[in-house]
A and B are shown apart, each in its own frame.
Chain A
Amino acid sequence: MSAAPSRRDYSLIGRDARLAVETGLSAAEWYHTDLSRKQMKELMQRSDYPALRDTAIWLGAILVTGAGAAFFWSTWWCVPFFFAYGVLYGSSTDSRWHECGHGTAFRTQWMNDVIYQIACFMIMRNPVTWRWSHTRHHTDTIIVGRDPEISVMRPPDLVRVVLAFLGVRDVWHAMSDMLRNAAGIISPAEKTFIPEQERPKAIRIARIWTAIYAVTIALALYMGSWLPLMLIGLPRIYGAWYHVMVGLLQHGGLADNVIDHRLNSRTVYMNRLNRFLYWNMNYHVEHHMFPMVPYHALPKLHELIKHDLPTPTSSIVAGYREMIPAFLRQLRDEDYFIKRELPPTARPYREEFHADAAAVAAE
């Protein structure tokens, strides 16, 4: 199910991209809750220990579930192992590339770099391209024409959203991009956010990955078995559902073209297992407002600033209960969005940037 063509131009080299720059929506000064320098320094402090502990558990779980899946291959007992392995490989890597890309997971930078490279390979995101696209995402979060990481554009293409849970479309694009980059081609959109001196690195990585997948496919053919591909590559399809499920909640259905993360991002309370898999990215307003704060300090940051934030969404289910109706309504009214109410203790910020759209949301 998809709606009529959008009035929004999401192209990074299109009309809305130019407008965002001209109107000051791009590279704007975003709202921040006030925190003392002392508090911020405490929150920003880096430590290797939490990420070393979590990474040991994470890699151990990948090895155990992968080995179990291979051991029970060709029996039904392999299914639960592949289920867990798929989520670890094709979904939990989303938060690992993200946090290590920010350089905040570990204090020691080479550790961030190693996990970043591994996670990028598994989630099929070129580490150079995505480092720069994510930089833009933080500069221009959900600014139409500027943010390359808007997962649900308006009006929402619900077929595409559903297919994202299956991972097929993502993998198709990832493989196409990889082969294109491996052929030495950087697209015009990529050129808008990847600096020229970084482009050869993107091409080199794409060539290395292409070689790894070629060897994996050759091994599968040699063995006459799908097993090598079930362990390398395909988990990005059958294990993608989890990262899409939690990832859509980050900004789905909320305002676009505002410069206040409280209005375009969503904090969702999740249990300990989800927060381990997702590395606390459920505290998404907090992460965007203060990207220097490591994942392990986000719960503390949340406690310090929640008086200034909208009421957090109480669960994943609650998030979908508000998001799905918003997506459906956007099919016939793309200007509709979920208007986040700030608590009475919150400081308002730049209402004029979205006053017209707010009126639509209030209808």
Chain B
Amino acid sequence: MSDWVEACRVGEIDEEDVMRFDHAGRTFAIYRSPDDDYFATDGLCTHEKVHLADGLVMDDIIECPKHNGRFNYKTGAARGAPVCVNLKTYPVKVEAGAVMIQIG
């Protein structure tokens, strides 16, 4: 069963930035792109389980704060060493001023 849950309010994340969202014992990263779109991925780097929300967003890339591994946060694709495993992404919608993510 898939649930939509509110991760944050619109505008709570700066443009080209990321925020951590914890829910039901899991952790996610919510992104606001330079184009003002929202995206969501698993919150931990697939390399060494570091919180990506402490990293740097550049265009469509999130860079892990520990080893500078890179992912495309829109697709979850691993884009630079030392990450080799893609990041899981989640559907996002904006509804009534809330950023909602669908947690499968």
Query: Is residue B58 contacting chain A, with contact meaning CB distance below 8 A?
Result: yes
Query: Which residues in chain B, 55-75, are within 8 Å of chain A measured between CB atoms?
Result: 55-56, 58, 63, 65-68, 70
Q: What is the CA–CA distance of A290 and B66 in the complex, to the nearest angstrom?
A: 8
How many residue pairs bridge A and B at CB < 8 Å?
43
B80 touches A292 (CB 8 A): no
**A98 to B: closest C-beta gap in Å:** 12
Could you say which of B55, B63, B66, B81 contacts A139, with CB atoms under 8 Å apart? B66
Determine how close the nearest CB of chain A comes to the CB of B45; give it in whole angstroms: 12
The answer to whether the Cβ of A236 comes within 8 Å of any Cβ in the partner chain is no
B84 at the interface (CB under 8 A from A): yes
Which residues from 90 to 109 on chain A have a C-beta closer than 8 Å to any C-beta of chain B?
A: 102-104, 107, 109
Q: A167–B5 Cα gap in the complex (Å)?
A: 59
For residue B58, which residues in chain A have a CB less than 8 angstroms away from its CB? Answer: 46, 107
Query: Chain B's interface: helix, strand, loop or mixed, by majority?
Result: loop
What's the Cα separation between A198 and B69 when bound, in Å? 15
Task: For A292, list chain B residues within 8 Å (CB).
Answer: 55-56, 63, 65, 68
The answer on a CB contact under 8 Å between A135 and B67 is yes
C-alpha spacing A138/B80, complex, angstroms: 17
In the assembled complex, which residues on chain B have CB atoms less than 8 Å from the CB atom of A107?
Answer: 58
Q: Given the complex, which residues of B lie within 8 Å of A138, measured CB to CB?
A: 66-67
B69 nearest CB neighbor, chain A only: A135
12 contacts between A and B (CB under 8 A): A27-B48, A41-B14, A46-B58, A131-B81, A132-B82, A135-B81, A135-B82, A138-B66, A138-B67, A198-B81, A291-B65, A292-B65
Q: Which A residues are closer than 8 A to B by beta carbons? A: 27, 40-41, 44-46, 102-104, 107, 109, 131-132, 135, 138-139, 195, 197-198, 290-292
Given contacts A139-B48, A139-B67, 19 further A-B contacts (CB under 8 A): A27-B48, A41-B14, A45-B56, A102-B68, A103-B68, A103-B80, A132-B81, A132-B82, A135-B67, A135-B82, A138-B66, A138-B67, A139-B66, A197-B84, A198-B84, A290-B65, A291-B65, A291-B68, A292-B65
| Interface of B toward A, CB cutoff 8 Å | 14, 17, 48, 54-56, 58, 63, 65-68, 70, 80-82, 84
Which 9 pairs between the two chains have the least Cβ-Cβ distance?
Answer: A44-B56, A135-B82, A103-B68, A102-B68, A135-B67, A292-B65, A131-B81, A195-B84, A292-B56
